[in-house]
Amino acid sequence: MFPEAFCHSLRKTLFATLGTLLLLSSAAAAAHAQTSNTTLLVDIDHRAATSLDGDWHTIVDPYSTGLYNFHHEIKADGYFMNGTKAYNGEPLEYNFALSPTLKVPGDWNTQRRDLFYYEGVLWYEKDFKYSPKPNTHTFIHFGAANYRSHVWVNTKAVCEHEGGFTPFDCDITGVVKDGDNFVVVAVDNTRSADGVPTLQTDWWNYGGLTRDVSLVDVPTQFIDDYDLHLSRADHSLIEGYVHVKNATPGTDVTVSIPELHATTHATVDANDRAAIKLPVKSLSLWSPDNPKLYKVNLAAGSDHLEDDMGFRTIETHGTEILLNGKPIFLRGVSIHAEAPYRTGRAYSEKDVDTLLGWAKDLGCNYVRLAHYPHDQRMTRASDRLGILVWSEIPDYWALQFDNPAVLAKSKQQLGEMIRRDRDKASIILWSVANETPDTEARTKYLTTMANLTRQLDPTRLVTAALLVKTQKTATGSVKIVDDPLGQALDVIGTNEYIGWYEQKPAGADTTTWDIRYQKPVIMSEFGAAARAGHHGPATERWTEEYQADVYKHQIPMLNRIPQLRGTSAWVLMDFRSPMRTLPGLQDNFNRKGLISDQGEKKQAFFVLQKAYKDKTLGKAQ
């Protein structure tokens, strides 16, 4: 099937394309670069696309046999060849067509019992028909694949990507052909010390093609990025840029908002960018009370895009957060991308409707999307529903802060998150980290990240969830917020678990806060665990009564923090975590949800709901 000469040339192509990067084992991953030749198409959900979702053939490959021979050299006839017969006509030792299928999108862990704990390489294969059109570029788009991915189309390596929660696009122009085609993807969710996130996380390491996959055609010159936002200084001016890939300088770019009878023309400069200034009259500003979205049309050469965008400003003034110039308090909850009812990684419109519906019911005007970028449906829906969003990258706990290769991975994920979602009015906060250790290397690393965030998006606020110090006093305790990282942030996030990891719930009554920054503060996490339906006295841990009691004591304490401008209770719904093993109570779920994974509202939900709906928690000024 594969003559020797062909194998040689394939080997050469592979090495030429990917160098020594095609290393799927976790040890090899340490030396692994992040991304090669991937483009990130923005507003992808508004482009015409051919979905590749559905059944994909899969091969579980814990030893990376699909890639390496017995001396750990890259094979010329690996699984990416999608072959069936060896040189002597005998069947090869794999066969995609005979192998079981998994649904895409979807993590593998919750689709097959034997994959529940699986961490390693899993190969996906799908056949598809295609007719290339003249003067177009063709991309294969991945909404997300956790964690490392290598993609081949018709046996050719087309791209690789590292990072489990951000999208990537492989240019397959010239590789995809008229008629029958196939794509093979090796996804590896092996955790590694130099990964982002790293070895330890309090969430399930769901592997696989966890979000949509599609084929997208664009004209040779195409809009691959843009930033259009309301000027902070002038609420009748939308400004920003449109980036046109492969543009010739002078190419005309048009941006218009028909409903506002507003149109502007600009030309692409030597950096493929057209600077945009679009004056608008009688703009209805986006806010939770008025989630007004406008149809925005963008055109460059033969490429046209439409987006649904809201326009608003967000800034801080002293210890206030100003939305459209007015102080606001963020009544919120943290949410993991865990699917309600069925568990697994959330991806569908239905998942989003359920999660954000619950957040609305709780009385939220804000959500913290923890601890990584969620599916784009989540931020689109937040735009529509008028929910303000904190979005973060998985710079979580103890990354290798002294490793430049890790910093490069964080930067890449930050760039991908911002690029995908900067058209969403709902997002007001980019978070660069959660509960990281206070070391010099960490502060340097995350200050670099905060500065990069501002450089990539000067229109939003930069935050991080910090750890706080506790000092005993004669009357109780004081929580000190002096993490040096605070200097690099616009808004300080702090996590605390009085009543759960420390003290009794009533410990909150005698706790005061000493915040060493004159900046707005968000209590980005607080809470306690309870198993839904488990009842008892309020003094008994794991009962709904105990969890509710924690909230009852938290609310007055939170109200005594003068610069508190938001709260995102931990957490909306129970979620799977391998760290939570207690039989009968946890069973591999973090039970700090206000709602169980089966949709049962716990008593604490109603305590917080009352405070949010009566507006008895928090002040905007």
List residues binding ligand GCB (CB under 6 A).
202, 371, 434-435, 495, 525, 570, 590, 592
Distance CA 74, CA 152 (A): 15
Least distance CB 602 / ligand GCB (angstroms) = 15
For the record, the structure tokens of 457 come out as 């998006």
**Which H/E stretch holds residue 226?**
strand 222-230
Contact (Cβ atoms closer than 8 angstroms) between residue 540 and residue 532: no
Least distance CB 485 / ligand GCB (angstroms) = 15
- Give the up-direction half-sphere exposure of residue 447: CA atoms within 13 A in the CB hemisphere: 13
Least distance CB 496 / ligand GCB (angstroms) = 9
Distance CA 307, CA 424 (A): 10
Single-letter amino acid, residue 602? K
Q: Which residue is nearest to ligand GCB (CB)?
A: 202
Instruction: Give the nearer residue to ligand GCB in terms of CB position, either 167 or 197.
Output: 197
Least distance CB 499 / ligand GCB (angstroms) = 13
Least distance CB 101 / ligand GCB (angstroms) = 33
Instruction: Give the nearer residue to ligand GCB in terms of CB position, either 84 or 200.
Output: 200
For the record, the structure tokens of 201 come out as 């996380």
**Of 173, 182, 187, 142, which Cα lies nearest the Cα of 51?**
142
Instruction: Give the nearer residue to ligand GCB in terms of CB position, either 190 or 495.
Output: 495
Residue holding tokens 């990072």? 163
Burial (CB < 10 A; 0-12, 13-18, 19+), residue 524, is: buried
Q: What are phi and psi of 136, to 5 degrees?
A: -130, 155
CA end-to-end span of the chain: 73
Instruction: Give the nearer residue to ligand GCB in terms of CB position, either 169 or 338.
Output: 338
| Number of other residues whose CB lies within 10 A of the CB of residue 366 | 24
Instruction: Give the nearer residue to ligand GCB in terms of CB position, either 401 or 570.
Output: 570
Least distance CB 213 / ligand GCB (angstroms) = 28
Instruction: Give the nearer residue to ligand GCB in terms of CB position, either 167 or 493.
Output: 493
Instruction: Give the nearer residue to ligand GCB in terms of CB position, either 96 or 551.
Output: 551
Contact (Cβ atoms closer than 8 angstroms) between residue 267 and residue 8: no
Least distance CB 344 / ligand GCB (angstroms) = 18
Instruction: Give the nearer residue to ligand GCB in terms of CB position, either 244 or 572.
Output: 572
Least distance CB 241 / ligand GCB (angstroms) = 35
For the record, the structure tokens of 621 come out as 């000024």
**Which H/E stretch holds residue 580?**
none
For the record, the structure tokens of 140 come out as 């294969």
For the record, the structure tokens of 215 come out as 């084929």
Measured CA distances, 227 to 243, 262, 339, 423 (Å) = 9, 17, 31, 7
Least distance CB 619 / ligand GCB (angstroms) = 25
Instruction: Give the nearer residue to ligand GCB in terms of CB position, either 434 or 511.
Output: 434
Contact (Cβ atoms closer than 8 angstroms) between residue 129 and residue 180: yes
Instruction: Give the nearer residue to ligand GCB in terms of CB position, either 320 or 338.
Output: 338
DSSP 354: H
Least distance CB 487 / ligand GCB (angstroms) = 21
| Number of other residues whose CB lies within 10 A of the CB of residue 89 | 7
**Which H/E stretch holds residue 142?**
strand 136-142
